[in-house]
Structure 1
């Protein structure tokens, strides 16, 4: 794929994200999102990969836990640029009066899109099957498209911009609606601590669409902190 085509797609995604995030919001919250992400080789050849990410997200001005996620997976490397993955997740959502448990199966492809504006562009396409067995037998199917741009500033520091769009593929009686579900737009620096560890910390704007409500949407202004480890 040519750099011009990559640039056009990347700009289109950013414009779409900006268009989504500048809408007027009926509700907003400051939150703190914290994560640990681990990847590495399972076998000596490095063809099989492991994946793990865990999250603690604090809401209401970062004063109380809102969401926790544990998400393991395994992948198969097709090439240096493309890996196919599958895994599961347990998501716990804390509301005012109860905890909601959601189990997920997920399949994804991670791949490189080349270079743009002096940096590298990578992407992730993910399908999810969402289960809330305590509430319903219906399964929510969702598609997520993630695009990330990173540019090195020096040996240790780099700048990162990424965006992820969520689309519901069906309606469920427990609350998922088809169509645009949410968008996440992140901007911030990254610091390479050593050969295995990197930390990214910055601003994450989380737009959430709320069809079926009198209000159009909410937004969360998040302080995002993620530690990445690779083996």
Structure 2
């Protein structure tokens, strides 16, 4: 279910283009991994803002995970984020530690998934540690007999658990809602492109609305399941 952003009179509105790629999969079975339960995660993002005219943010996020069963997995990882205008007043960097629990289930041909992610954020704009909770729900519906085409819909809510001197304020931080088509290029590779609305709550000024053309590719190198987010 999508959670659409509220309509407010005072808003800063921008458009952008975001590119993303992610790789997940099971590590090979070995003496230290006899059941093949350990997993690898890597994703990266390139985000253009200011009407897609300039680099505004880049992100690299590696991680490791453990499959509890076919539906549930636990993850831990690191993220490096570089942010520039208009997403920040001046260039800044951020280091994050993140923990996550993921769920994925097929209902007929419909792929349902969710993830709950907790981030510890260390920002160059100030001291202290920001803690942020992210909750995402996603639906992927293959189309046609061959199921090459698909429709993807998701919503992700961000909530700051504390306030920091680098600008984070306790409470609702932002919401991202996406809808768009995709293509299953193979059993392990999928692309999605479409419209994303990002609504950012700002306690010190007008809220921000970003209308984003989002392009993403997903690769599951273990070939044993649909690519994860």
Question: Which TM bucket (shorter chain)?
Answer: 0.7 to 0.9
Rounded to whole Å, the distance in 2 between the matches of 1:24 and 1:167 is 23
Establish whether residue 55 from structure 1 lines up as the match of residue 45 from structure 2.
yes
8 Å contact kept, 2:92–2:125: no
Rounded to whole Å, the distance in 1 between the matches of 2:181 and 2:95 is 32
The two structures, once aligned, show a CA RMSD in angstroms of 1.7
* Greater fraction helix: 1
Deviation at 1:113, TM superposition (A): 5.5
1:42 is aligned, of 27, 30, 43, to 27
SS in 2 for 1:87: strand
8 Å contact kept, 1:21–1:205: no
TM-score (normalised: structure 1): 0.87
Give CA-to-partner distance per residue, 1:48-103, whole Å, 9 cap, x none: 00001100000011010000000000000000000100000000001377420000
Establish whether residue 170 from structure 1 lines up as the match of residue 162 from structure 2.
yes
5+ residue gaps, structure 2? 30-34, 222-229
Rounded to whole Å, the distance in 1 between the matches of 2:140 and 2:14 is 27
Deviation at 1:22, TM superposition (A): 4.0
5+ residue gaps, structure 1? 1-9
Give CA-to-partner distance per residue, 1:151-200, whole Å, 9 cap, x none: 11022011110000000000001100010000000000110111221100
8 Å contact kept, 1:200–1:226: yes
Establish whether residue 31 from structure 1 lines up as the match of residue 22 from structure 2.
no
Rounded to whole Å, the distance in 2 between the matches of 1:36 and 1:102 is 20
2:114 is aligned, of 103, 110, 123, to 123
1:91 is aligned, of 75, 81, 85, to 81
Which residue is 1:228 aligned to?
A: 218
Superposition pairs for residues 99-110 of structure 1, below 5 Å?
99-110=91-102
Deviation at 1:42, TM superposition (A): 1.3
Deviation at 1:147, TM superposition (A): 0.1
Rounded to whole Å, the distance in 1 between the matches of 2:9 and 2:24 is 38
Rounded to whole Å, the distance in 1 between the matches of 2:6 and 2:139 is 19
